[in-house]
Amino acid sequence: MRDYPSPPFPSQPQPVPGSQAKMQPYPDCGEQTYTGSGRLQDKIALITGADSGIGRAVAIAYAREGADVAIAYMDEHDDAKETARWVEAAGRRCLLLPGDLAQKQHCQDIVEKTVGQFGRIDILVNNAAFQMSHETLEEIDDDEWVKTFDINITAIFRICKAALPSMPRGSSIINTSSVNSDDPSPSLLAYATTKGAIANFTAGLAQLLGSQGIRVNSVAPGPIWTPLIPSTMPDEAVQNFGSKTPLGRPGQPVEVAPIYVLLGSDEGSYISGSRYAVTGGKPIL
């Protein structure tokens, strides 16, 4: 077992949305450690928020498992190019799709461009998210609340709807929820609320799409060391991030990727409507 970093971490404030290259310790997305075994051979995956963090780890794992990958991200071009470099180093094709998922047209565009490049979508990973930390309700302005919902849940609805005609039987949709859907952090009120919505959307959509042979599941990560943390949370929380889990540390993105591989693979052919916790020991009941 690898000895992953434990807090306390150094002070490292960043502007939103954060850069993985500036994080200390540098997140492990499996660049040097993930080994594939052909479980997604020749599948086509569209992953949102794949420039860094969990999305990058999933993109690397998918490529090493044999998939071509389309990466949707906001404007973190350097991080996205680094992800693409690892995908292409695995011998797979990579399509970069920058833009704002809060915009309806962009949600449709990333699907259209992915299908135009690769012909179909076998795995759709809705992973992009926005959060900000606030200690009072009064601090959350209306525009930020709406933006959080537009990116975190409305975009998922729009992307799924746009992608469905290009997803054959046996395809898989995987949505990133959070431990916050069960144990909401009051300082992440808007974010936690959207993550509860994602869990319910996933469970309902799985029932709607079952007859079409398309599976829908969600993953509920606990505290995972990604650029979202130093760019959106108070410095003290960053320095002690993950310390309250039973394992006493945050998870690394590479530790989340394997469940996305299972759910995207044919080995998960009877898994649908479920939610999988990757929380360092904190139960989701």
Catalytic residues, which ones? Answer: 191
Question: Which residue, among 267, 263, 200, has the nearest Cα to 58 in the 3D structure?
Answer: 263
CA diameter of the chain? 50
Query: Sheet containing 172-176: which strands, arranged edge to edge?
Result: 94-98, 68-73, 44-48, 123-126, 172-176, 215-221, 275-278
Which residues does 145 contact at the CB level (< 8 Å), separation at least 6?
190
Rounded CA-CA distance 269/39 in Å is 12
Rounded CA-CA distance 34/117 in Å is 26
Rounded CA-CA distance 94/21 in Å is 20
Question: Which residue, among 132, 21, 130, has the nearest Cα to 77 in the 3D structure?
Answer: 21
